[in-house]
Amino acid sequence: MEGKNLINKPEHKFFGLLFDHKLNWHINYLKNKCLADLGLLNTLSNINWGAHGTSLSNIYQELIRSKLDYGSQCYITAPPSYVKKLDPIQNAAIRIILGAFRTSPVESLQCEADISSLESRRELLLLNYASSLKFRPELDQFNTFFLPKTNWTNIRKRHLSPSLIFQRICKRLMIVIPDAKCRITNIPPWHFSRIHIDLSMKVLNKETNSSSTIKSFFRQIIEENYSNHFIIYTDGSKRENFVGAAYTSSLLQRKYFHRGTAGYIYGPICLGRITD
């Protein structure tokens, strides 16, 4: 390319993930890296002076499982036989944490240690990634993930796309992620104008002052300090089976409900000036 020879390598590291020519990812590399940390966990579990099981569990989750979680949305596409190579690492860690025998059933140890299986963990992280991506349709990976032209398979159909794996998980668990109904601004939050909060009404006590007195005092504040502002009233409500929110101004009114409908209350919760 452009007169330079391209290097042909069987694997390449990118953002901490090791790509190989068979798309088996960095499973073996990750396993060896975690085994070294497992030795440290074993040292801290000495019978005479070792750490408590709760501390060992926190160390495992921060030191070892964090490495297993990183990039799992990608290497979940590897063949199951390769991904299962990581299971003995967690199984050994749980036995160290609980001081259990090697013959103890893995499922029972996971329940006692309150640590989910790595397979469930990978599926959860993939669902979290999909839920977050669902609200960012402007990103390039949105169409790749949710609107793929084809759910590719490779190498004797051992490799499935993350999109297809996500669809199978949702079908098995009967999960439906709704379409995004909000638009995220392109302006980062640190570029917003500083919000001014007026606490003048805090001096009035609802128990000792009538509603007419409170309303009169509120109108006085508006006339004296915000006569040249565009006023918007907003509030939200929550009940056992639904949540709702609404806002109103001199130009328009909007209300939003989730899982049910009910009345809502307008209140002077937020005052501000509409700017560019």
Q: Are 151 and 161 in contact (CB under 8 A)?
A: yes
Residue 104 sits at φ, ψ, to 5 deg, of -70, 140
Number of Cα atoms under 13 Å in the Cβ half of residue 270:
13
Query: What rounded mean pLDDT belongs to the chain?
Result: 81
pLDDT for res 152:
54
Written as six digits, the tokens of 194 are 């500083």
Domain boundaries, the chain: 11-173, 195-258
Evaluated on CA atoms 64, 66, 72, 76, the torsion sign reads positive
Give CA–CA dist 135/179, Å, rounded.
7
Residue 245 sits at φ, ψ, to 5 deg, of -150, 155
With tokens 């006023």, the residue in question is 231
Which one has a higher pLDDT value, 24 or 152?
24
Mean pLDDT over residues 86-106, rounded?
Answer: 88
pLDDT for res 158:
60
Mean pLDDT over residues 79-91, rounded?
Answer: 88
Helices (H), 44-105: 53-60, 66-69, 72-75, 80-83, 87-98
pLDDT tens figures, 120-136: 999 999 999 988 888 88
Q: In terms of pTM, does the model score above 0.85? A: no
pLDDT for res 237:
87
Dihedral of the alpha carbons of 67, 73, 79, 82, in degrees to the nearest 10: 0
Residue 153 has pLDDT above 80, yes or no: no
Number of Cα atoms under 13 Å in the Cβ half of residue 126:
25
Written as six digits, the tokens of 245 are 């929110």
pLDDT for res 11:
81
Residue 166 has pLDDT above 80, yes or no: yes
Q: How far is CA 195 from the centre of its chain?
A: 27
With tokens 């059933």, the residue in question is 105
Give CA–CA dist 88/69, Å, rounded.
15
The end-to-end CA distance of the chain, in Å, is: 47
Residues making up the chain, counted from first to last: 276
Mean pLDDT over residues 88-98, rounded?
Answer: 90
pLDDT tens figures, 236-275: 888 877 788 899 988 888 888 776 433 333 333 333 333 3
Mean pLDDT over residues 156-172, rounded?
Answer: 79
pLDDT for res 66:
92
Mean pLDDT over residues 223-230, rounded?
Answer: 89
Between the alpha carbon of residue 164 and those of residues 48, 119, 125, the distances in Å are: 50, 16, 15
Q: Are 254 and 247 in contact (CB under 8 A)?
A: yes
Q: Sort residue 99 into left (φ over 0), alpha (ψ -120 to 50) or beta.
A: left
pLDDT tens figures, 5-63: 988 888 888 887 888 777 777 788 888 888 888 888 888 887 777 788 888 899 999 99
pLDDT for res 146:
82
| pLDDT grade for 150, boundaries at 50, 70 and 90 | low
pLDDT tens figures, 16-31: 788 877 777 778 888 8
